[in-house]
Amino acid sequence: DQQVKQNSPSLSVQEGRISILNCDYTNSMFDYFLWYKKYPAEGPTFLISISSIKDKNEDGRFTVFLNKSAKHLSLHIVPSQPGDSAVYFCAANSGGSNYKLTFGKGTLLTVNP
Amino acid sequence: KAGVTQTPRYLIKTRGQQVTLSCSPISGHRSVSWYQQTPGQGLQFLFEYFSETQRNKGNFPGRFSGRQFSNSRSEMNVSTLELGDSALYLCASSTPGTGGDEQYFGPGTRLTVT
């Protein structure tokens, strides 16, 4: 049973445009959500997170939106740059002392110059 | 500050053998988690250690085990290797105060079982 789903295995956008990566979850106990970026031959790198008490969090070109009623979150990258090309993982945590992250299977983002 | 380091980076083993992977967390981080990444299953949580105690465990068979030392370094062991154990094994560390949510990953150990 996949509790965190990223239904788009890949996404291709033009440089300068917006990239929108989507993630759905099923576990109502999740209360903290994170996005990680992963380049080949490297470990995932933390990008941005959001607590369930918020519906939006921004950090520079990256914004994460959370819709709790729909159990959906999205990552917006504006403007997209070729260096953003990587696999993006959505992850969720039920917080407290639970350090277990549940990951989606990832979306490969390609930003074309 | 040095990042999370994992050794070895690459490993080839034969089915039935056992393997030990090592992880050194970021200095000051006391929580270490292990994940398995495969093309089919993505990133899956193995276990998490804090102050030498296993606090969380994923849904993996008992062949997968781990431990943490007093300096927070951690090892994971896989016994009686199977072909399906071929994967990238990632270690992540975090520090209290962040809720353990922002985990910092090492580059991983690529294990190939033949």
In B17-73, DSSP assigns E strands to: 19-24, 31-38, 42-50, 53-57, 64-68
* pLDDT tens column, A55-81: 999 999 999 999 999 999 999 999 999
- Asked if residues A107 and A86 have their Cβ atoms less than 8 Å apart, the reply is no
Which of A32, A41, A42 is opposite residue B99, by nearest beta carbon?
A: A32
The Cα of A91 is separated from the nearest Cα of chain B by a number of Å equal to 10
Residue spans of chain B under pLDDT 50: 99-100
Coil, helix or strand at residue B101: coil
Rounded mean pLDDT, A84-94: 93
Q: Tell me the pLDDT band of A34, cut-offs 50, 70 and 90.
A: very high
* Structure confidence at residue A100 as a pLDDT band (50, 70, 90): confident
> What is the DSSP track for A13-65?
EETTS-EEEEEEE--TT--EEEEEEE-TTS--EEEEEEETT-SEEEETTEEEE
Give the pLDDT confidence score for residue B110 in this predicted structure: 96
Strand partners, B13: B113
Return residues 55-74 of B near A (CB < 8 Å): 55-56, 58
User: For B42, which of A34, A100, A103 is closest by C-beta distance?
Assistant: A103
Please check the confidence at residue A5 and state whether its pLDDT lies above 80: yes
Does B107 reach chain A within 8 Å, measured CB to CB?
Answer: yes
Note the pLDDT of residue B97.
Answer: 56
